Structure 1
């Protein structure tokens, strides 16, 4: 179960609750300029799946409200719903939501969330991306959500009756993949396109023959050095489900994976080694996904395996006629 936080204003929040609908924006002012940005927004929604949980952060009030659940996989629909949809911005990347048994009257204030972050228990919470742009939606791990739920319970001694979804939005078949951009050779046009394909696969519990029995995953994970990890898989203890035992850091490149890409992946590995797993290298796995890998990368990984006993899984990707992603291990 993943948990997603949508960043909204008060009017948009009321619309979301009235219709049982959460949405992500799409820029429409300049299609050629905005295409890459829109693929990035779509890729964030691609992570969402049925029964995930949804929270809303109201930006001006600096409050976190919860908790709702996802009804189905997300879809694309341009029907006008939100008041601030205009000629340059619409919210077509959508997912239907419903109430849960947890309806908290008192929201969590931003300063309390920052206290959790400062204590190291809320480490994927990120209202602002490293490039300075605000997040419209981001995802956190289930372990982090448990800390947020505990805080909700502390400030809400009683559950309140959920507000009825007064005007439930109609059902749409999941169709986000139809919006992705490919070139004439069925290669993803942007790196975000590839990210959306991979995340959609994880949302459908695919690739376990490659990655094993992962229990949770998040994307665009912030670090303390101004970069975002593309994807992070989490593996829990089957005997103690709330205990995370291992992680897989995945770096994605649309084209050739070169030395710069490998340096970036290893920087994430070092950061995670120091900050998250208390120096336990057995708890970290690393993976690179690309259309190919440079000889220098392969040569380095051969020596790394020989001298340090550390491996990086290399995966070549391709897309078939049905626009399904195929991953195949690259030998070194």
Structure 2
């Protein structure tokens, strides 16, 4: 199967690049990390006008009627630019779960929402900047109150414990699991986007930095490392696209887990190699490289750790209900 983005999806990616870069690019993440959420929320409203928060919402409900592939395209751009904020929660997780009044606020950008999912996402992201907080269980969605914020390894992410308040709203069977798979797909796309940016930064620096009279990118050992990253990212992309196409179907859960594992592994390799290429300057707070390195580390552990998703793939493959269950492990 050949995955090719449609003209509309390419235009969406281009529009996101243009809006984020005109808003300041990585400066938005830096000011957010310093506690100034103004530029980040201004960008939030711009992306809401573009229709980002309606990608998983039918046109009859005020959304764009987009597909999971559109969602993956958008979130890869968010990861590429290290955009801060609870986008996964507001755009991927909650639109299919909340009532119409909350949904309307999410779609027009006036409501910033975050959520915790016990077992997968123990803390609410950026609760202080969010209008509403929720806790998602397997069969219900509860409004929540946020505790004090705690620093993450990623300075742009502030984590808060959420406590349920009021009566939980019941959900239909499978509704919670599908929403979590949407969020996991979005997280995978952000990892892939961050990995692509790390590779781009590494290649650019390797062409510029000279050692012993030659650009370090001319050395064969470094070329091999960068090529390994390119291969890992390229192999992860069809898994992510396949997961987007499978989402909601019988193979959706397995495909989403495979995408999260592959994107996480590729982004981690990209972070390690990019840091090795940059050397000591890559460790400094002043260099933007740390924005993506710490983002990759943070996203690797939420929406299911690599161990969680590998176990999930194994259990689905070996399940009697799985169409692949009769395949020999040899």
Shorter-chain TM range is: under 0.3
Q: Which has the higher strand share?
A: 1
TM-score normalised by the chain length of structure 1: 0.27
TM-score by length of 2: 0.27
Bigger fraction of residues in helix: 2
